[in-house]
Copies of this chain bind each other. A is one copy, B any other.
């Protein structure tokens, strides 16, 4: 699709005015099972964590990999899956800004003197620039800008015959968020950073261990959820079973709260909290904090729906589907011409006049990033006859970029980094605007602030990000898993 021109940017914005997970990972140690196919189905369940590239690697003697740009259903077919025979499999889906960058697709496979290793990464290293510079000085060359290549090179430097020991040493040098699955020719390893920023969980599929970013992938392949990988835990799975090691005695844990707000699939349960129930709770909490008079509660589909349901229930107001999303909206799409530009919003969302006309509306969305889409929605809803539009958001204002593996946008484009709530209300044209309080959010989750990462709301980064800030003038997302 053409980039750059204002028309397509504005359209694209409807799609991308959301923060995005950068990756999903999956792994299975399953001798005798069809590991490539199970990995494929696992990735299919994690597709929302990355639509741009998909990859599967299997180990059976040596390691084979297939990856490409696109959804798993586009990158794989029966022939390819049949060729990928092995006992262990890992997979990766990825969101990426760069078109055609199949070179950066994962899993990435590396050849060491002692064997092959495949890595699939979710997260972001905050000291990657330092690490790259240091490694470069020592003669390492990079074929891409990726955390994976950094990890792989550190691994080479620390390996002395024991992959787990080497990984342990690597974790002493790296800083940032990482939920990793690593596959050697005979072992599957899962690893979660000491703060536990990105999720990772463990399941059991008929006696075989399975690792996945979210529990929905366990359910999809028919595995039982066993437990979450703990922050700072490494599990190594081979013919001898599973061995768990704690890499850290870190007390400050910081799982990302934004997974609950928007990123994760609603049927996933992350660190013992179900995502759908959390979202419903955010909506209820919102309703306790914000009691505007209204006739009807409407959610922005699909991500605002659950909080809207909670809000409506708590307030005793009717929830109605006042905005309908065209479910055929996809990635490849012909741009309307300038003359037709007014139809751009309506290609994706259409208001139901009969529901909105003459009504005072509470419009619930999960978050506001740039504010562009929110403004369009408010305008559309007013044109459909709404008398009042009260906009409520089921998280606090996002005023700080994420450096831990979420693609938001540059700081300057985060509307809440430059404007206060009243200014944002004015900008999006709502009659009122209310954000969920952080306190309220944490109450719903029943977690103290010290047990989560809420840096995108508070700016209090649990892991030092000064190295990342240096590149903050650019969109941060150039780097990434």
In-complex Cβ contact of A141 among B37, B152, B334 (8 A): B152
Is A243 positioned at the interface, with any CB of B under 8 Å from its CB? no
Taking a contact as CB atoms closer than 8 A, the residue among B47, B112, B324 that contacts A328 in the complex is B47
Partner of A156, one of B141, B265, B309: B141
What B residues does A41 contact at CB under 8 A? Answer: 336, 340, 343, 347
Majority SS at the chain A contact face? mixed
Q: Is the CB of A34 within 8 A of B339?
A: yes
Q: Mark A35-60, 1 if CB is under 8 A from B, else 0.
A: 00110110011011000000000000
The answer to whether A31 has its CB under 8 Å from any CB of chain B is no
The answer to whether B346 touches A222 (Cβ under 8 A) is yes
Residues of B within 8 A of A127 (CB): none
Docked pose: A65 CA to B143 CA in angstroms: 12
Known: A44-B328, A113-B136, A327-B48. A343 touches B141 (CB 8 A): no
Greatest chain B CB density within 10 A among A108, A152, A337, A350 is at: A350
Residue among A152, A265, A346 with the highest chain B CB neighbour number at 10 A: A346
Give the copy number: 4
Question: Could you mark each residue 270-283 of chain A with 1 if its beta carbon is under 8 Å from any beta carbon of chain B, else 0?
Answer: 00001011001000
Q: Are A37 and B340 in contact (CB-based, < 8 A)? A: yes
Report Cα–Cα, A140/B33, bound state, in Å: 34
What does the 1/0 interface line of A244-284 toward B look like (CB < 8 Å)? 00000000000000000000011101000010110010000
Residues of chain B within 8 A of A342, CB atoms compared: 222
The reply on A448 being an interface residue by CB < 8 A is no
Number of chain A residues close to chain B: CB under 8 A = 88
- Cβ-defined contact, B324 with A66, below 8 A: no
Q: Does A77 contact B (CB under 8 A)?
A: yes
A281 to B324: give the CA distance in the assembly, Å: 17
* Mask of A341-354 contacts with B, CB within 8 angstroms, 1/0: 01100110011111
Contacting pair A318 B313 (CB below 8 A)? yes
**Cβ-defined contact, A334 with B220, below 8 A:** no
8 residue pairs of the A-B complex, CB under 8 angstroms, read A45-B350, A139-B139, A219-B351, A220-B326, A222-B342, A267-B352, A277-B352, A277-B354
In the A-B complex, the 4 residue pairs with the closest CB atoms: A267-B324, A113-B136, A274-B354, A111-B142
Question: A residues within 8 Å of B by Cβ?
Answer: 33-34, 37-38, 40-41, 44-45, 47-48, 65-66, 71, 73, 76-78, 80-81, 100, 102-103, 108-113, 133, 136-145, 152-153, 155-157, 216, 219-222, 265-267, 269, 274, 276-277, 280, 302, 305-306, 309, 313, 318-321, 324, 326-328, 330, 332-334, 336-337, 339-340, 342-343, 346-347, 350-355
